[in-house]
């Protein structure tokens, strides 16, 4: 049998996994969740989830992947627990759903590169109209999906790893330049206050559920993306250090994205921070307005750069999302990689069409989901899918993966795999914490939050 391929170096794996984590979730999702969650209080809860709960789940996913060298479904079977492979199947469904809507947003962002490059800052006021031009934005989406498929079809070291090593440093450089610029604007300080000084009276159930969903989504957890990437990792690698670096990169870039955007909103609103709660449209409306105020060639350059950056970040994530179902089909159904890639990409694009239509083009997909009770508001199709996949399936998947690893596969085996390549792991404080977190904390907290989220989002029942 042909080999499955693998990452060629330690840096390659970390770049690819960090590339998966860093994406629209950081630059588009995080600021709008912070805005809607009332600012710094959301940030505090989000950070707590990332380090206390998500870190152990990430190390566990990578360990399961490396141990079995399999996709998320095959991994459970390979460990001898075929009955558990529904967790992997659920992850693959989540991956398909997430990529289906993710690609729609990536398509918008892709189109914005050309709008900005032609100094069309007025697009800010026409965003509502822009999203209804489905042949235009759908066409950009199709191109984006094709680019993703192209990278994935080149394989692990030749495609995914190469792209990540090139795109990630470029992204970091661009975003830091933007932060420096935005911090020098008048009223930047009001943005920083909103972002960093917490007002805990703003915390409620919905803030907590969204922070959890956002943490899982941003770290690419709960659906086996990191089981899949883990399956291409060398046995000599130190999983624990890699997990730390990936988490820090992801949280760090989300944090910096906030440092870039909130000062801009401070500037734009004259310090009132009005518009911070702009929701999913935030970066597509507020930012172009700002680029317009900068004006001239500089405005055009900064605006274009920003959306190029956003597309880079999105691409290293869509690649990992597509890799999950592709690895499944390649491993389990013996389909050739190239074939699997293009078929899956096609199917997922089609699954994304209702999300594409749900921003004004189709009344039905834009508002027909009124019976869906997310806090009692009307919901479009994309938000509905995001609530199902990000906020519900991912935490449930994380809960099941942790429970499985500690109690079914057994924590001794998990310890053994994590200790490979990490000589000081055994007996360390971290090992004790991991045992506690994977065995008890994560299953209990994630299980509880999953139930509360579903009750609240789908049945309108609010317990906290
Ligand atoms: N983490 C990615 C982002 O923040 C999205 C993603 C979710 C990627 C799940 C893979 C798996 O944009």
pTM above 0.75, yes or no: yes
Q: Can you give the pLDDT at residue 370?
A: 54
The total of structural domains in the chain comes to 1
Q: Is 317 in the pocket of ligand 1 (CB under 6 A)?
A: yes
| Average pLDDT of the segment spanning 78-98 | 97
Ligand 1 atom nearest residue 23's Cα: 12
Q: Can you give the pLDDT at residue 2?
A: 43
CA of residue 239 to ligand 1 center, whole Å: 20
| Average pLDDT of the segment spanning 181-207 | 89
Positive or negative torsion for Cα 392, 395, 401, 403: negative
The per-residue pLDDT for range 321-337, each reduced to its tens digit, is: 999 999 999 999 999 99
CA of residue 217 to ligand 1 center, whole Å: 5
> What residue owns the CA closest to ligand 1's atom 11?
220
CA of residue 1 to ligand 1 center, whole Å: 31
Domain contains 3:
no
Residue 371 has pLDDT above 60, yes or no: no
Domain contains 294:
yes
Range with the lowest mean pLDDT among 301-310, 362-371, 451-460?
A: 362-371
Other C-beta atoms within 10 Å of 139: how many? 14
pLDDT band, residue 373 (cuts 50/70/90): low
Q: Can you give the pLDDT at residue 369?
A: 62
Q: Can you give the pLDDT at residue 374?
A: 59
The per-residue pLDDT for range 5-17, each reduced to its tens digit, is: 788 888 888 888 9
Domain span at 46? 10-459
Q: Is 310 in the pocket of ligand 1 (CB under 6 A)?
A: no
- φ and ψ at residue 17, rounded to 5 degrees: -70, -40
CA of residue 20 to ligand 1 center, whole Å: 6
Q: Can you give the pLDDT at residue 435?
A: 97
| Average pLDDT of the segment spanning 214-218 | 94
Q: Can you give the pLDDT at residue 1?
A: 37
Range with the lowest mean pLDDT among 170-174, 207-211, 408-412, 445-449?
A: 170-174
Ligand 1 atom nearest residue 320's Cα: 10
**Residue given tokens 């999302």 in the structure block:** 321
Q: Can you give the pLDDT at residue 295?
A: 82
Domain contains 29:
yes
The per-residue pLDDT for range 387-404, each reduced to its tens digit, is: 899 989 999 999 999 999
Residue 190 has pLDDT above 60, yes or no: yes
Q: What is the dihedral of CA 196, 200, 203, 209, to 10 degrees?
A: 50
Q: Yes or no: say if 7 and 163 are a contact pair by the CB < 8 Å rule.
A: no
Pairwise pLDDT comparison (111 vs 175), residue with the higher score: 111
| CA neighbor of 323 nearest in space, from 433, 250, 230, 435 | 230
Residue 138 has pLDDT above 90, yes or no: yes
**CA–CA separation, 423 and 237 (whole Å):** 11
Domain contains 315:
yes
Q: Can you give the pLDDT at residue 219?
A: 96
The per-residue pLDDT for range 401-432, each reduced to its tens digit, is: 999 999 999 999 999 999 999 999 999 999 99
Structure tokens at 71: 């996709």
How far are the Cα atoms of 301, 366, 397, 444, 455 from residue 459, in angstroms, in the given order? 46, 20, 21, 22, 5
Q: Is 322 in the pocket of ligand 1 (CB under 6 A)?
A: no
Structure tokens at 92: 């693959």
Name every residue whose Cβ is closer than 8 Å to that of residue 223 and which is 6 or more positions away in sequence.
Answer: 72, 90, 91, 92, 94, 95, 98, 324, 393, 394, 397
| Average pLDDT of the segment spanning 287-312 | 87
Domain contains 5:
no
Pairwise pLDDT comparison (243 vs 14), residue with the higher score: 243
Domain contains 62:
yes
Q: Yes or no: say if 74 and 452 are a contact pair by the CB < 8 Å rule.
A: no
- CATH number assigned to the domain comprising residue 61: 1.10.4160
CA of residue 219 to ligand 1 center, whole Å: 6
Ligand 1 atom nearest residue 321's Cα: 10
Q: Can you give the pLDDT at residue 450?
A: 94
Pairwise pLDDT comparison (168 vs 91), residue with the higher score: 91
pLDDT band, residue 372 (cuts 50/70/90): low
| CA neighbor of 51 nearest in space, from 272, 219, 270 | 219
Residue 375 has pLDDT above 70, yes or no: no
| CA neighbor of 285 nearest in space, from 106, 114, 121 | 121
Residue 3 has pLDDT above 70, yes or no: no
Domain contains 2:
no
Q: Is 109 in the pocket of ligand 1 (CB under 6 A)?
A: no
**End-to-end Cα spacing for the chain:** 53
Q: Is 320 in the pocket of ligand 1 (CB under 6 A)?
A: yes
Domain contains 1:
no
Ligand 1 atom nearest residue 217's Cα: 7
How far are the Cα atoms of 73, 78, 127 from residue 82, in angstroms, in the given order? 9, 8, 48
Ligand 1 atom nearest residue 25's Cα: 4
Q: Yes or no: say if 246 and 21 are a contact pair by the CB < 8 Å rule.
A: yes
Average pLDDT, the chain: 90
The per-residue pLDDT for range 247-277, each reduced to its tens digit, is: 999 999 999 999 988 998 898 888 888 878 7
The per-residue pLDDT for range 436-445, each reduced to its tens digit, is: 999 999 999 9
């Amino acid at each position: 049998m042909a080999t499955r391929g693998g990452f060629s170096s330690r840096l390659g794996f970390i770049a690819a996994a960090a590339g998966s984590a860093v994406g629209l979730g950081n630059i588009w999702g995080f600021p709008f969740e912070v805005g809607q969650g009332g600012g710094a209080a959301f940030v505090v809860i989000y950070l707590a989830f990332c380090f206390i709960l998500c870190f152990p789940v990430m190390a566990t996913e990578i360990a399961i992947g490396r141990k079995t060298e399999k996709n998320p479904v095959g991994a459970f079977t390979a460990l001898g627990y075929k009955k558990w492979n529904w967790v992997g199947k659920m992850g693959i469904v989540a991956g398909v759903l997430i990529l289906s809507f993710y690609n729609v947003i990536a398509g918008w962002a892709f189109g914005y590169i050309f709008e900005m490059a032609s100094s069309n800052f007025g697009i800010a006021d026409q965003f509502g109209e822009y999203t209804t031009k489905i042949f235009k934005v759908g066409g950009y989406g199709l191109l984006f999906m094709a680019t993703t498929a192209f990278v994935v079809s080149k394989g692990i070291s030749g495609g995914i790893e190469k792209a990540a090593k090139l795109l990630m440093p470029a992204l970091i450089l661009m975003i830091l330049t933007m932060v420096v610029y935005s911090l020098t604007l008048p009223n930047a300080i009001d943005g920083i206050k909103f972002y960093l000084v917490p007002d805990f009276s703003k915390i409620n159930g919905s803030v907590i559920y969204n922070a959890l969903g956002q943490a899982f989504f941003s770290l690419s957890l709960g659906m086996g993306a990191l089981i899949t990437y883990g399956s291409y990792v060398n046995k000599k690698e130190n999983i624990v250090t890699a997990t730390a670096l990936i988490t820090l990169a992801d949280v760090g870039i989300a944090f910096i994205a906030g440092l870039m955007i909130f000062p801009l909103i401070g500037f734009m609103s004259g310090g009132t921070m009005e518009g911070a709660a702009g929701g999913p449209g935030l970066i597509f409306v507020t930012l172009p307005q700002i680029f317009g105020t900068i004006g001239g060639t500089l405005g055009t350059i900064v605006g274009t750069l920003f959306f190029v950056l956003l597309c880079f970040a999105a691409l290293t994530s869509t690649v990992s999302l597509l890799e999950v179902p592709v690895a499944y089909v390649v491993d389990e159904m013996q389909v050739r990689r190239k074939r699997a890639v293009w078929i899956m990409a096609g199917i997922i694009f089609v699954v994304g069409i209702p999300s594409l239509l749900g921003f004004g083009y189709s009344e039905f997909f834009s508002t027909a989901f009124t019976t869906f009770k997310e806090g009692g508001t009307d919901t479009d199709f994309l938000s509905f899918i995001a609530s199902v996949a990000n906020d519900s399936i991912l935490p449930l998947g994380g809960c099941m993966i942790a429970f499985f690893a500690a109690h079914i596969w057994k924590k001794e085996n998990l310890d053994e795999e994590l200790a490979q390549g990490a000589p000081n792991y055994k007996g360390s404080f971290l090992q004790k914490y991991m045992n506690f977190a994977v065995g008890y904390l994560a299953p209990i907290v994630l299980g509880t939050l999953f139930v509360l989220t579903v009750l609240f989002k789908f049945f309108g029942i609010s317990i906290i």
